Structure 1
Amino acid sequence: MNFTDEDMSQENSRRLRALFEMATDGIITMSSDGFIENVNQAACDLFGYAAGEMQGQKVNMLMAQYDRTHHDGYLKRYHETGDPHIIGIGRDVIGRRKDGHEFPLRLAVSEVKLDERTIYTGILHDVSAFRKAKEEVEKLNADLENKVKERTAALRQREVELKLALGKERELNELKSRFLSMASHEFKTPLSTVLSSAELIELYVEPEQQPKRERHINRIKDAVNQLTEVLDDFLSLSQLEQGRVICKPKLIDVRALISTSVESSEGQFKEGQEVILELADEPRTLMTDPKLLRHVLINLISNAAKYSSPGMPVTIRSAGTKDYCSITILDQGIGIPEEDQPHLFDRFFRARNVENVKGTGLGLNIVNHYVSLMGGRIEFTSKLGEGSSFTVHLPQDNSVL
């Protein structure tokens, strides 16, 4: 069978049509002024129209609002300038189905010049599934990144916690070392005194040796009192750490409490030392915990006497405002080295110029805690060789604590 040129042309046309219809991507051809001429079945399925509903219509019926209103301008600019906006350039656009649903498309437009006219062919691929998969991948990546960040943050937090734990362990070891050193001295010295005095008393059997016996008995009493003070400090610290110390405010007479505190501190006074009271008329009364305040004042007064030379006075002043009562203890003693002052309220800390004076290094730490429990604050000034001044500021009424 011989095929004519016309037969071959028809066969080619049928093949092209078959390929056109069998394509899985949507294919649309349109005139140079933007009217749809041909669509394949994939394009119909893509947009939800029958072929007859699209043919002869402006192609912008298949576009989202922005491109729909600007499409004619795109064509006009291309015809005037030859500068393609889409033609020959694949890009992502938004399509619009018959039911109004908008979806992402990958669009490739080519220009076909025929003998008598020019047409445009658009190949459209629905990228909804790709976009969804991409979003899921991005979400997974974001989730993974967040988990990595969370894990990194957790590891960093753990690192910080470990450093803090190591710091606390080092601090604890240092405190233990200080405690052992202090305890060794503060217990050993008075115990040695007790032992030696007891042995000597046994030797003084004659009546005329009674003064010597009394001197050693007094030494034993002093040593026992010293041990009692150390144990009292340990007990106070333990109760504070266990949260067993509670502020119990009562209405107190300020002058009376200061007087009893001075009397309780007399055992620390050296020869010729006296207390000078410079007490204001107000406040006469104060709502606070008398037991805690008395402990604070006894400690500060005893320190003032202990770190001053014989004959040096200790001055106690009081003052008040409508909100606070202030009590100040001043001495003219050895003072505190400037470099030691930031650590003065630390546990077991003792300034370098008092190493030969008995003490646990707990007194001011406990005082600071007690003042805080009473809702107040403590401050001090000191100059080496000239003395120190400690001031306790307490609220006029801390009954709400």
Structure 2
Amino acid sequence: MMGNPGKMSQEDSHRLKALFEMATDGIITMSTEGIIENLNFAACALFGYEAEELKGQKVNILMGSYDRTHHDEYLERYHKTQQPRIIGIGREVTGRRKNGEEFPLRLAVSEVNLEQQTIYTGMLHDLTDFKRAQDRVVQLNAELEDKVEERTAALRQREKELQRALGKERELNELKSRFLSMASHEFKTPLSTVLSSVELIELYREEVQQPKREKHIGRIKDAVNQLTDVLNDFLSLSQLEQGQIAVSPRLTDLRAIISTSVESSEGQLKEGQKVILKLAEEPSRIVTDPKLLRHILINLISNAAKYSSPGMEITITSGWQDERCFISVADRGIGIPAEDQTHLFDRFFRARNVENVKGTGLGLNIVNHYLQLLDGKIEFESELSQGSTFTILLPAQKDI
């Protein structure tokens, strides 16, 4: 004979109580006013209270600071609107243990309608381990992203290094090609001159043919000097590339170094060309490497003569500019095309309007390197068919 299904037997009551106590999640029952009526062992352990300490207390004693102060508002709003925020839905909230520690938990509240009253049942699950694991995942992801960024940055840096290396290799190959082209021309022409002049000299054996012999001897000397200049340029470039140029600064008489540089360049002057000096009284002496400065000035004077017509003047000016000593070498020669001026100090570069003038395209590149060693710099102004002015700036002291 079956019992009344509307009533719970004592056995069922014991079974339900056992399930209530054995549940791994915390369970709390409370009145509609939020007063705790009962709670299981897991709930006590979760919050660090004995059951008797919580029974009769408002449930907000177990809530974090924000929810604790707003709990009554939640209940009042639900009673008025029947629109649940937690009841029947569940959400993540902050719990507060007896020792004041706050922790994350998952709260699901059910509304239970009994014969004589309505109660709320809260199911509480501690999310501390889950949050800790979640934070660890976030941390690992961040570390992974950092490593990916580091690896990506390293790969990009490596790519840039490879691009630079490839660029240098291409530049080197281009320089080799330009060097071979230039060298074959610069060596072949004077060597051919030497060979033909020697052959002709052998034919001029009579005394009356002495002027012809002297003419060809002069051609041989010019060709040898040309080859010497080319080799000197190559030697200077090689020494610069290998860092073998030693700088030996000392107190230098500026007028004297300019004068000796002009004298050394006289052999480069064309017929009727002369050098005009417009040197200021100061600075009279500067601390620099006279040998390197002399090489710089000889190169600039030689270029001025080379790219100017016979009879044209070359003007050298010195003085102060922007607290530095300046020396300018100006000519009224063929000038430099505007489109070529950007590359003027590149190795082996020669402007398009100097194809018929002998040269290696190394002179200004070497001058620029020498000036860097002297902590100086070079500037220029040029206009096609009107001439060029090259100005070197060197550190100096007015008190010297």
Structure 1: stretches of 5+ with no match in the other structure: none
Moved more, 238-247 or 345-354: 238-247
Structure 2: stretches of 5+ with no match in the other structure: none
* CA-CA distance at 1:4 after TM superposition: 6.8
Say whether the 8 Å CA contact 1:94–1:103 is kept in structure 2.
yes
Q: For 1:277, give the aligned amino acid.
A: L
In the alignment, structure 1 residue 143 sits paired with structure 2 residue 135: no
Aligned 1:136-285 pairs, distance under 5 A: 136-285=136-285
Q: For 1:176, give the aligned amino acid.
A: K
Aligned 1:9-158 pairs, distance under 5 A: 9-158=9-158
Distance in 2 between residues matched to 1:224 and 1:93, nearest whole Å: 96
Deviations 1:165-220 (A, max 9, x none): 22111111110011001110111111111222222222222222222222222211
Moved more, 144-153 or 248-257: 144-153
Q: State the partner residue of 1:306.
A: 306
- Residue correspondences, number: 398
Q: For 2:159, give the aligned amino acid.
A: E
2:56 counterpart SS class: coil
Moved more, 43-52 or 144-153: 144-153
* CA-CA distance at 1:322 after TM superposition: 7.6
Deviations 1:22-55 (A, max 9, x none): 2111100011111111101111121121211211
TM-score, normalising length: structure 2: 0.95
Distance in 2 between residues matched to 1:365 and 1:345, nearest whole Å: 5
Distance in 2 between residues matched to 1:114 and 1:5, nearest whole Å: 15
Q: State the partner residue of 1:374.
A: 374
* CA-CA distance at 1:365 after TM superposition: 0.2
Residues 6, 184 of structure 1: CA spacing in aligned structure 2 closer, same or farther, 3 A cutoff?
closer
TM-score, normalising length: structure 1: 0.94
Distance in 1 between residues matched to 2:200 and 2:394, nearest whole Å: 49
* CA-CA distance at 1:113 after TM superposition: 2.1
Residues 4, 60 of structure 1: CA spacing in aligned structure 2 closer, same or farther, 3 A cutoff?
same
Q: State the partner residue of 2:331.
A: 331
Moved more, 360-369 or 99-108: 99-108
Say whether the 8 Å CA contact 1:254–1:285 is kept in structure 2.
yes
Q: State the partner residue of 2:349.
A: 349
* CA-CA distance at 1:15 after TM superposition: 2.2
Q: For 2:33, give the aligned amino acid.
A: D
Distance in 2 between residues matched to 1:2 and 1:237, nearest whole Å: 114
2:136 counterpart SS class: helix
Deviations 1:232-289 (A, max 9, x none): 1111111111112233221111111111110000111011111111111221111111
* CA-CA distance at 1:101 after TM superposition: 2.2
Distance in 2 between residues matched to 1:381 and 1:322, nearest whole Å: 17
Identity over aligned pairs, percent: 72
* CA-CA distance at 1:6 after TM superposition: 9.4
Distance in 1 between residues matched to 2:250 and 2:170, nearest whole Å: 41
Q: For 1:159, give the aligned amino acid.
A: E
